[in-house]
Structure 1
Amino acid sequence: MEFESFGIIFAVSALGLISLLKLLISFVRWVWIMFLRPPKNLKEYGSWAMITGPTAGIGKAIAFELASKGLNLVLVGRNPSKLEATSAEIRRDQVVQVKTVVIDLAKSNAEEIARVIDDETRGLDVGVVINNAGLAYPYARFFDEVDSDLMESIMKVNMEAPTWITWSVLPRMLEKKKGAIVNIGSASSAVAPSYPLVTVYAASKAYLAMFSRSTSVEYKQSGIDIQCQIPLFVATKMTKLKAKSFFIPSPEAYSRASVRSIGYEIVCAPYWFHSVQWFISDLLPDALLNWCLFSYFLGMSKRAKLKESQKIKKFQQQ
């Protein structure tokens, strides 16, 4: 009897020790990835990088970060004056070549996107592609309140554009057997079980995660690294948030983490505190997360609608 009790105690202790060791190994690996792992030399992929949506927020910060690594840039956006302003800023700070490509991803069809990207990058050694351009709701709303134009634009910018851009750049990457493609997702790509009241936006970003996972498996053996990066809250115009220490990073802080992660994990949260939030969310019940997210976005929706109605009343009184 004493022998059996000893055996049970030993087995429980061994299991506890194994669990502790696994936790310790996971923590050490996380520290290595977030803070110690050396970034890849992105110039080995090619001398040029292309980025969509590079005139503000995360996209602009990543463009500057890539330029600081010595990469020439192809900036793809819809506003010529903003593209030229960003190009001038980058050339003023870094000794790199910058090319601008004007195209409205929300209004262009698949053939046009593929043709323009192919034509504008012909002859350039494009090794890194950042599909960053994204479109979100002006404010949270129920699905039936989303007008058809907004819905179509979100799907074209967030899903169709990165799909056709990837399709366009892959043949040349396959020829030289190297390249890196990064699709910028969101927390809805992997972290949360649902994103109510921003449904179309969330679903479009979730598409990017699966698109990245699947194409990564297809082309990894050909030397092409395809990745979906998951930013959570970043202080950008889109999120309407202000940077608060490490909880909500600035676009510049996020971009440094983003560029350090290129070429590694298929789906990842590059910024260290975002990865902590992801870990915590995985521990919580889906029902609790759904309730928290619904309450958060519902409050946001009510505040936005109240503000909108006040503006209308003020206008009518004038």
Structure 2
Amino acid sequence: MAPDSSTLSSICVGIVCIVTVRKVLPWLYTNIIGPIFLGSRIDFRRFGAWAVVTGATDGIGKAYAKALAKKGLNVVLISRSLSKLAAVAKEITDAHNVQIKIIDIDFTDGPQIYQKIEKNITGLDIGVLVNNVGISYLYPEFFIEYITRYPQFLRDIISVNIHSVTNMCGLVLPNMIAKKKGVIINVSSFFAVIASPLLSVYSGTKAFVDKFSEDLQTEYQSQGIIVQSLRPCIVATNMHKLKPNLFAPSAEVYVDSALKTVGIAGKTNGYFPHALLALFAYLSGNYIIKIVHFKVLLRIKSLLSKSEKEI
């Protein structure tokens, strides 16, 4: 006998409730119960004396470098501007009694750059790696139009957003595995997990970082390695030219929040208001987000591409 319509409705409601609970309960733990009420119990110093941070002269990378130095770790700063690296190094050593090493590298260069990095970090007891360096579009744009105007863009964004992560992990993981402890924080993006038309290559590279981090954690968690994928939304940095607000915090506020999730969440937005946006996106459905986000990015494209052409 076939079930009647009321029975089918009850089954459907039950399935929806189960799916929602399975999604919401982990969300509550990783975004509220864990970081806010329990707090990360990780002492980063026990993983090693040194942290390595890429893209360390601005924004999230600089904030991680300062926060880890405050926790007592020596820091290797990696970025392309030697003058900026020297300035950040001085800022940190003036505030904290730690050692700083600087490595000036342009991650858009060829694979030989990793030989220079390896030479400079060999022998250091590295306990924490923050893969932060990344580049995006100058403005939202259709794929063909953008790569036609900037033909070098595809090579550069893959070199910076993907090759940097895999190569840096390849450099530090062997020693972490040998001592059976280490923390790797890979900075992905909220755009990696929601529809992001007009940013297709950027969001695609960040989706790679997110998936790579998840599978790397599965491979090495039994050996004491923590791998976290961080999915920030908008952070008020020089890149975004925004004043800090609740949903676009300063890099310092964001990183202070994100560090509390290490050891609690393998994938995280790192900041409670960003997690709320992620939950809203999930509950709204990707189709709605796709339509809304596309319209928003089209508007931004119109404004920024016009400004960029006028410069």
Q: Do both share a fold (TM > 0.5)?
A: yes
Mapped to 2, the partners of 1:105 and 1:198 lie a distance apart of: 20
Mapped to 2, the partners of 1:184 and 1:31 lie a distance apart of: 21
CA distance change for structure 1 residues 284 and 92 in 2, over 3 Å: closer, same or farther? same
Mapped to 1, the partners of 2:97 and 2:212 lie a distance apart of: 34
CA distance change for structure 1 residues 281 and 103 in 2, over 3 Å: closer, same or farther? same
SS in 1 for 2:306: helix
Match of 2:94 among 92, 95, 99: 92
Whichever residue aligns with residue 225 of structure 1, its letter is: I
Does the 8 Å contact 1:113/1:161 carry over to 2?
A: no
- Which residue does 1:181 correspond to in 2? 184
- Which residue does 1:51 correspond to in 2? 53
Matched, 1:279 2:279: yes
- Which residue does 1:247 correspond to in 2? 247
In the TM superposition, what are the counterparts of 1:189-228 in structure 2 within 5 Å?
189-190=192-193, 192=194, 194-228=195-229
For structure 1, list consecutive stretches of 5 or more residues without a partner in the other structure. Answer: 1-7, 312-318
Kindly state the Cα deviation for residue 88 of structure 1 after the two structures are TM-superposed. 0.3
For structure 2, list consecutive stretches of 5 or more residues without a partner in the other structure. Answer: 1-6
Mapped to 2, the partners of 1:302 and 1:90 lie a distance apart of: 40
CA distance change for structure 1 residues 278 and 74 in 2, over 3 Å: closer, same or farther? same
Does the 8 Å contact 2:188/2:210 carry over to 1?
A: yes
Report the RMSD for the aligned CA atoms in angstroms.
2.2
Mapped to 2, the partners of 1:66 and 1:35 lie a distance apart of: 19
Mapped to 2, the partners of 1:145 and 1:132 lie a distance apart of: 27
Per-residue CA shift, 1:276-300, capped at 9, x if unaligned? 1111100112221111111111111
CA distance change for structure 1 residues 116 and 35 in 2, over 3 Å: closer, same or farther? same
- Which residue does 1:307 correspond to in 2? 307
Kindly state the Cα deviation for residue 22 of structure 1 after the two structures are TM-superposed. 7.8
Matched, 1:154 2:157: yes
SS in 2 for 1:148: coil
Q: How many residues align?
A: 294
CA distance change for structure 1 residues 287 and 23 in 2, over 3 Å: closer, same or farther? closer
State TM-score, norm by structure 1. 0.86
In the TM superposition, what are the counterparts of 1:1-318 in structure 2 within 5 Å?
29=29, 30-39=31-40, 40-109=42-111, 112-146=112-146, 147-190=150-193, 192=194, 194-244=195-245, 246-311=246-311
- Which residue does 2:3 correspond to in 1? none
Mapped to 2, the partners of 1:308 and 1:121 lie a distance apart of: 39
Whichever residue aligns with residue 219 of structure 1, its letter is: Y
Does the 8 Å contact 2:34/2:264 carry over to 1?
A: no
Bigger radius of gyration: 1
Mapped to 2, the partners of 1:126 and 1:156 lie a distance apart of: 23
- Which residue does 2:4 correspond to in 1? none
